[in-house]
Chain A
Amino acid sequence: MQFFLDSTLYSYAQIFFSNRKWFGAAILVASFSTPLLGLMALLGVLISNLVAYILKFDAEKIRSGFYGFNGILFGASTAFYFELNNLLLLLIPIFIIITFLISAVLEHYLETAFNLPGLSLPFVISVYIFVIFLTNYNFIIPNIHQYGVDSTSSSLTYYMEIYFKSLSLIIFQPEITAGIIIIVAILIFSRVLFVLSIVAFVLNVLLLNFILPNHFDNLLILSSFNSILAAFALGGSLIIPSRKSFMLVILSSLMVVIFTGFFSRLLSGSLFPLLVLPFNFIVLATIYSLKFRKDQTDLVLLYFKPGSPEENFYYHQKRKARFENFKYLFPELPFFGEWKVSQGFNGEHTHKDDWKYALDFVVVDKNNSQYSNEGLKLEDYYCYSLPVTSPLDGEIVRIVSSVRDNEPGDINLQQNFGNTIIISHQYGLFSSISHLKSDSIKVKEGDKIKKGDIIGNCGNSGRSPYPHIHFQFQLNDKIGDKTHLFPISHFIEKENGKTYLRTFAYPKENSIAQNLDVHKTIKDAFDFKIGDKLNFKYELEGKELEESWEVKVDIYNQLYIESSSNAKAEIYLTDKVFYFTSYIGEKNTALYFFYLVAAQVPLCFQEDLYWDDTFSISLLPIGSIRYLAEIFLFYKNMLSTRGEFTFEEDEETQNYFIKSDIIVMGSGLFAFYKKQFNGIVKIDEHDGLKEFEINGDKNLLFKATKTK
């Protein structure tokens, strides 16, 4: 029962690209402003979902409303275009099933063949079939509901009426009430869509009057609602909202006018109503063409499970900030201990042009000197003869090992790269380490090696005046090949006296870098494995509550934690860092607060280590200020978030802590706004994760303790 209620409400919400049940309910109510139409719409969705259920289509997809919304539109349209009679009432359910079948085929085909959404195309096709089929009965005549506007004045009320009616007509409601309910629901659901609906409408009025001055009244409503729907799709729902997507909306409004003009002429004299044809055509064509751009960094098409346009925006921003350089290989630095980057990318000596993505490393003491004594002997140099390790698992493909080491200050230009090892890794990636010590290479071509294995020693061969390692990634097994930009998955970087965790990043020139040293206690606390169960107790609004978590995995091998409070958070674990990647659920569960305070945790322990992270604004407990800010989202995101994390240790209680400051800051109009949360995760040496809490303005917001 719950399933059918859910699938029904989600189907209604889907029409406006929403994924909220309450939104669906609002549309359902709106559709009953003309009860007969509402009834037929409801019939459409119920039959569609029931058939999908009986035929055992993917239950999750049915629930999401994927198969139901075309049924709503079809159901409503039948009563909108025809006077109902017994025969029709008999035929309509059959056609609803046909609509469902068409949508099942078409959605699937568009998705697999073009990776496009089906939109309401199935509904359009099915209406056309229905209309033609009905010509078999000469006694059934179309009886279109009046949806025009009575007054012809060009006053504001006139246009407001048109605006509301355009919205009503999306669900085939001729009444203005439906439009008012819809727009209120949209405003609550998404400020972005609200702004888009007004912009699209205004543009459409201006453009239509300009381009087709002699249009008939109904065309204004028809092109307006197509324009609004196209704006929703291209401005925020299928594309991440941005200034550029706003520009796209202006363009699409223009196209809607053109194509409304085109289709209305094409279909005039035929039986076919115009419906949402322009919207479907323009959106599908635009989205499809955007996929062929070489650079997809702006006008980003939705690549994840959609929420509201705002949520999409925040999710994308967060993902870009956290995982822009993410790769499925996790290389580390090719040495033990702390080394200094003596020449970084685009370095002044040799890292230029095709070789710009190379790194040189040396060892320095705390006075920044590379050697002890006078530095006249190779042995004086701290890095000379130190072990060099493999950055990743791989196979040795090429070795040069017998070039003589230069005396300090000399260089060998004949054998530029000196003693070199080239390792082949997965996915066609190669790494190359050069200037190794003469005859120090401990591996041979064909050897399979593991990440961290010692492969040779640092030396001073080739074009190397002083001992150092030259390290680069490349796409070939040639010595001295063009360098390839590839991030080091995790490392610790010392810069200006502070120590930072870097993930999927590139060590900077003159910084001191080292690999993460996995700490057993921290690792054990965050090494979530499938089937792990944890229980927490906490107090909320005076009530003692309990929550249990279980670690599960979905078909895409994505690990997630599911809580007894119906929340779900996806996690990602590399060999050395734990990440929360998403959270879905209420903002008062233990899992939610844990998601905030443990957004990212390196599995090491170093007391002065700092790391930062970003959050989706929609996932922070900051109340309604963001709704206001979202009105301006197209112009600028005026609220930003930042989490700063560090480790602490309590010697006495033998506990480790992860402390976090989560800061929400306003800018521009919202510069007055600042809110800060402080989180603490307590990790016990034996029990692992012990408790966590979050404070806002020095008041405890939440505290949970693990129970057995």
Chain B
Amino acid sequence: MSTKKRYERPIITKYQSGLMNKFGSGPSAKAKTSIDEVAVSKLVEEYGSPLFVMSERQLRNNQQNAIRIFRTRYPKVQFAWSYKTNYLNAVCSVFHQEGSLAEVVSEFEYDKAKLLGIKGSNIIFNGPDKSRAALQKAIKDNAKIHIDHFDELYEIIDLCNSENLKANVAIRVNMDVGVYPLWDRFGFNYENGEAWQAIKRIMSEKSLKLTGLHTHIGTYMMTAEAYRIAASKLASLANSIKREFDIKLDYIDMGGGFASNNTLIGQYLPAEQIIPSMEQYADAISSGMFEMNATGSDLPALILETGRALVDNAGYLITTVLANKRLSTGRRAIIIDAGVNILFTSFWYKHKISPAQESGVHVEDSSLYGPLCMNIDLIRESILLPAVKKGEHLVIEDVGAYAMTQWMQFITMRPNVVMIMQDGTVELIRKSEALNYILDRELLPKQLKLK
């Protein structure tokens, strides 16, 4: 007996001639029925929908490839996992197992890393907001503190002097690398001499040890050359430090910002065709680094805080079709159970979205809405998708970065997150929220109690 053929309701598509599609990657109707050989339907059955899925194998592959690419180009390379990109313990631990330090930008992230068992000296403490208490903790833990502004520097000096502490510090430097707008709101400027002022101030302070220089030139950088310029400017700063103060820096932290495979909204060409490869970033950075007047073990380590490029393609969001409907224009709209509250990145990415089951070859330009009762809840304005029925699933790809940190509880609860382990087993790594998760935090004044 043959299985019953799937019924698809007929659609009428307007014939469009003469439209440019020379570079188009083509309508993707190819089904994504499994993730790392685990069937999507099975995952939903067990863990519900929507469901975030992380791939351990992909995470490790990404990290190992990045290590290989950088370490074959520069002798001392150290990765630091950017917590804000995805700070689920399971994800962080995979990166730590692969040898990464922790890069944190708040006291909360700092404590999270410590609880995972990361020692202070393996934590890089970045960001403009570090409270006095947080700084004190970090100094005592011997963490790598990257100073963002003079007020923070004075605070650290004051702390060290009043409590007789010694701190390992680096400064964050911003600079013109030919990509605009400049990220000059973070750190000390290179061109106007502010960075050098900060270095001199640190050098005059016995309680501070300048261990490195840090920059982070931007995010989703589409040119590798900018990194070469940045590395070369930091190298020249390091050369000056060596010349003036006879200090060998422990490291140069080039930050992150490497683009992932996601195509930006408003970007015409698909990402894989225009973003630089990891090799190109690595070539650019190492060639800038080698402008340092040092060789062999005197070279400072190169620290990389790449987040997005290491985690984005290891994350998937499985979602279920709630309804199909026609808009007033006759345009097809699909309503799914994952909204912008859990997929914040859909505001700037055209995520790759595929059906999770085989379907017909015909695709239709559709809008994809989330379940929220809010007009902004639009996952994709325009996407070519085959017909999907209520209850069927879609897989949104490359959602490993930022989605699971920027998500919010709004109207709906945040869903389960699972990780498909290297051995093919599936582990729940964050439980979906339930009502009591919200209620636990709430206090109701007595006089407002009903009844």
Residues of chain A whose beta carbon lies under 8 Å from any beta carbon of chain B: 335-339, 363, 365-366, 382-383, 385-387, 450-454, 514-515, 517-518, 520, 523, 575-576, 650-654, 685-686
Select which of A450, A514, A523 is within 8 A of B295 by beta carbon.
A450
Q: Mark interface residues in B286-318 (1 if CB within 8 Å of A CB, else 0).
A: 100010000111000000000000000000000
What is the chain B residue whose CB lies nearest that of A650? Answer: B119
Q: Mark interface residues in B15-31 (1 if CB within 8 Å of A CB, else 0).
A: 00000000000000000
Instruction: Decide: B296 and A685 in contact? CB cutoff 8 A.
Output: no
* Chain A residues whose C-beta falls within 8 Å of the C-beta of B122 in the assembled complex: 651
- For chain B residues 36-69, which have a beta carbon within 8 Å of chain A? 61, 64-65, 68
Instruction: Decide: B71 and A336 in contact? CB cutoff 8 A.
Output: yes
A sample of 11 inter-chain contacts (CB < 8 A) reads A339-B72, A363-B68, A386-B72, A451-B295, A452-B296, A517-B75, A575-B297, A651-B117, A652-B119, A654-B121, A685-B142
Select which of B61, B64, B70, B290 is within 8 A of A454 by beta carbon.
B290
Instruction: Output the least CB separation between A450 and chain B (Å).
Output: 5
Q: Does B408 contact A (CB under 8 A)?
A: no
Instruction: Given the known inter-chain contacts A520-B250, A575-B297, please indicate yes or no for A387 contacting B73, CB distance below 8 A.
Output: yes
What is the chain B residue whose CB lies nearest that of A458? Answer: B72
Instruction: Decide: B72 and A338 in contact? CB cutoff 8 A.
Output: yes
Apart from A336-B72, A339-B72, list 9 A-B contacts with CB within 8 A. Answer: A335-B72, A336-B74, A337-B72, A338-B68, A382-B68, A387-B72, A454-B290, A515-B75, A654-B119
Instruction: Decide: A365 and B68 in contact? CB cutoff 8 A.
Output: yes
Q: Does B242 contact A (CB under 8 A)?
A: no
Instruction: Output the least CB separation between A374 and chain B (Å).
Output: 16
Instruction: Output the least CB separation between A242 and chain B (Å).
Output: 42
CA distance A383 to B279 in the complex (A): 11
CA distance A654 to B283 in the complex (A): 34
Instruction: Decide: A383 and B72 in contact? CB cutoff 8 A.
Output: yes
Instruction: Decide: A336 and B75 in contact? CB cutoff 8 A.
Output: yes
CA distance A590 to B233 in the complex (A): 49
* Chain B residues whose C-beta falls within 8 Å of the C-beta of A454 in the assembled complex: 290
Q: Does B76 contact A (CB under 8 A)?
A: yes
Sorted nearest first, the 5 A-B pairs with minimum C-beta distance are: A337-B71, A337-B72, A518-B297, A452-B296, A651-B119
CA distance A520 to B76 in the complex (A): 12
CA distance A517 to B119 in the complex (A): 21
Residue total for B at the interface (Cβ-Cβ under 8 A): 25
Instruction: Given the known inter-chain contacts A515-B75, A518-B297, A652-B119, please indicate yes or no for A387 contacting B286, CB distance below 8 A.
Output: yes
Instruction: Output the least CB separation between B436 and chain A (Å).
Output: 33
* Chain B residues whose C-beta falls within 8 Å of the C-beta of A452 in the assembled complex: 75, 295-296
- For chain B residues 117-138, which have a beta carbon within 8 Å of chain A? 117-122
What is the chain A residue whose CB lies nearest that of B116? Answer: A651
Instruction: Output the least CB separation between A19 and chain B (Å).
Output: 41
CA distance A49 to B61 in the complex (A): 74
* Chain A residues whose C-beta falls within 8 Å of the C-beta of B297 in the assembled complex: 518, 523, 575-576
Instruction: Decide: A453 and B295 in contact? CB cutoff 8 A.
Output: yes
Instruction: Decide: B119 and A338 in contact? CB cutoff 8 A.
Output: no
Select which of A337, A453, A576 is within 8 A of B68 by beta carbon.
A337
A interface SS class: loop
What is the chain A residue whose CB lies nearest that of B295? Answer: A450
Select which of A336, A383, A520, A652 is within 8 A of B117 by beta carbon.
A652
Instruction: Given the known inter-chain contacts A652-B119, A685-B142, please indicate yes or no for A365 contacting B65, CB distance below 8 A.
Output: yes
Instruction: Output the least CB separation between B376 and chain A (Å).
Output: 40
Instruction: Output the least CB separation between B231 and chain A (Å).
Output: 15
CA distance A71 to B181 in the complex (A): 93
* Chain B residues whose C-beta falls within 8 Å of the C-beta of A651 in the assembled complex: 117-119, 122
* Chain A residues whose C-beta falls within 8 Å of the C-beta of B117 in the assembled complex: 651-652
* Chain B residues whose C-beta falls within 8 Å of the C-beta of A450 in the assembled complex: 295-296
* Chain B residues whose C-beta falls within 8 Å of the C-beta of A363 in the assembled complex: 68, 72
Give the most central of A387, A450, A652: most B CB within 10 Å.
A387
What is the chain B residue whose CB lies nearest that of A516? Answer: B297
Instruction: Decide: B64 and A337 in contact? CB cutoff 8 A.
Output: no
* Chain B residues whose C-beta falls within 8 Å of the C-beta of A339 in the assembled complex: 72
* Chain B residues whose C-beta falls within 8 Å of the C-beta of A451 in the assembled complex: 295-296
Instruction: Output the least CB separation between B125 and chain A (Å).
Output: 15
Instruction: Output the least CB separation between B40 and chain A (Å).
Output: 25
What is the chain B residue whose CB lies nearest that of A454? Answer: B290
CA distance A360 to B123 in the complex (A): 39
Instruction: Output the least CB separation between A52 and chain B (Å).
Output: 49
Instruction: Given the known inter-chain contacts A382-B72, A517-B75, please indicate yes or no for A654 contacting B296, CB distance below 8 A.
Output: no
Instruction: Output the least CB separation between B208 and chain A (Å).
Output: 15
Instruction: Output the least CB separation between A205 and chain B (Å).
Output: 65
Instruction: Decide: B295 and A337 in contact? CB cutoff 8 A.
Output: no
Instruction: Given the known inter-chain contacts A365-B65, A453-B295, please indicate yes or no for A685 contacting B74, CB distance below 8 A.
Output: no
* Chain B residues whose C-beta falls within 8 Å of the C-beta of A385 in the assembled complex: 283
Give the most central of B65, B70, B119, B296: most A CB within 10 Å.
B296
What is the chain B residue whose CB lies nearest that of A384? Answer: B279
Instruction: Output the least CB separation between A671 and chain B (Å).
Output: 41
Instruction: Output the least CB separation between B52 and chain A (Å).
Output: 26
CA distance A363 to B279 in the complex (A): 14
Instruction: Decide: A338 and B142 in contact? CB cutoff 8 A.
Output: no
* Chain B residues whose C-beta falls within 8 Å of the C-beta of A518 in the assembled complex: 297
* Chain A residues whose C-beta falls within 8 Å of the C-beta of B142 in the assembled complex: 654, 685-686
What is the chain B residue whose CB lies nearest that of A575? Answer: B297
Instruction: Output the least CB separation between A523 and chain B (Å).
Output: 8
CA distance A337 to B67 in the complex (A): 9
Instruction: Output the least CB separation between B117 and chain A (Å).
Output: 5
Instruction: Output the least CB separation between B280 and chain A (Å).
Output: 11
Instruction: Output the least CB separation between B302 and chain A (Å).
Output: 11
CA distance A518 to B75 in the complex (A): 10
Instruction: Output the least CB separation between B73 and chain A (Å).
Output: 6
* Chain B residues whose C-beta falls within 8 Å of the C-beta of A685 in the assembled complex: 121, 142
* Chain A residues whose C-beta falls within 8 Å of the C-beta of B65 in the assembled complex: 365
Instruction: Output the least CB separation between B262 and chain A (Å).
Output: 20
* Chain A residues whose C-beta falls within 8 Å of the C-beta of B286 in the assembled complex: 387
CA distance A514 to B61 in the complex (A): 20
CA distance A452 to B122 in the complex (A): 27
Instruction: Given the known inter-chain contacts A452-B296, A453-B295, A518-B297, please indicate yes or no for A366 contacting B64, CB distance below 8 A.
Output: yes
* Chain A residues whose C-beta falls within 8 Å of the C-beta of B72 in the assembled complex: 335-339, 363, 382-383, 386-387
Instruction: Output the least CB separation between B194 and chain A (Å).
Output: 29
What is the chain B residue whose CB lies nearest that of A686? Answer: B142
- For chain B residues 253-307, which have a beta carbon within 8 Å of chain A? 283, 286, 290, 295-297
CA distance A652 to B114 in the complex (A): 8
* Chain B residues whose C-beta falls within 8 Å of the C-beta of A520 in the assembled complex: 250
* Chain B residues whose C-beta falls within 8 Å of the C-beta of A387 in the assembled complex: 72-73, 286
CA distance A478 to B179 in the complex (A): 49
* Chain B residues whose C-beta falls within 8 Å of the C-beta of A576 in the assembled complex: 297
CA distance A650 to B119 in the complex (A): 8
* Chain B residues whose C-beta falls within 8 Å of the C-beta of A338 in the assembled complex: 68, 71-72
Instruction: Output the least CB separation between B55 and chain A (Å).
Output: 15
CA distance A451 to B297 in the complex (A): 10
CA distance A663 to B134 in the complex (A): 48
* Chain B residues whose C-beta falls within 8 Å of the C-beta of A336 in the assembled complex: 71-75
- For chain B residues 72-129, which have a beta carbon within 8 Å of chain A? 72-76, 117-122
Instruction: Output the least CB separation between B116 and chain A (Å).
Output: 9
* Chain A residues whose C-beta falls within 8 Å of the C-beta of B74 in the assembled complex: 336
* Chain B residues whose C-beta falls within 8 Å of the C-beta of A386 in the assembled complex: 72-73
Instruction: Output the least CB separation between A603 and chain B (Å).
Output: 9
CA distance A517 to B61 in the complex (A): 23
* Chain A residues whose C-beta falls within 8 Å of the C-beta of B119 in the assembled complex: 650-654
CA distance A518 to B119 in the complex (A): 20
CA distance A382 to B71 in the complex (A): 12
CA distance A385 to B61 in the complex (A): 22
* Chain B residues whose C-beta falls within 8 Å of the C-beta of A652 in the assembled complex: 117, 119
Instruction: Decide: B68 and A517 in contact? CB cutoff 8 A.
Output: no
* Chain A residues whose C-beta falls within 8 Å of the C-beta of B118 in the assembled complex: 651
CA distance A408 to B69 in the complex (A): 21
What is the chain A residue whose CB lies nearest that of B67? Answer: A337
CA distance A565 to B212 in the complex (A): 42
Instruction: Decide: B73 and A337 in contact? CB cutoff 8 A.
Output: yes
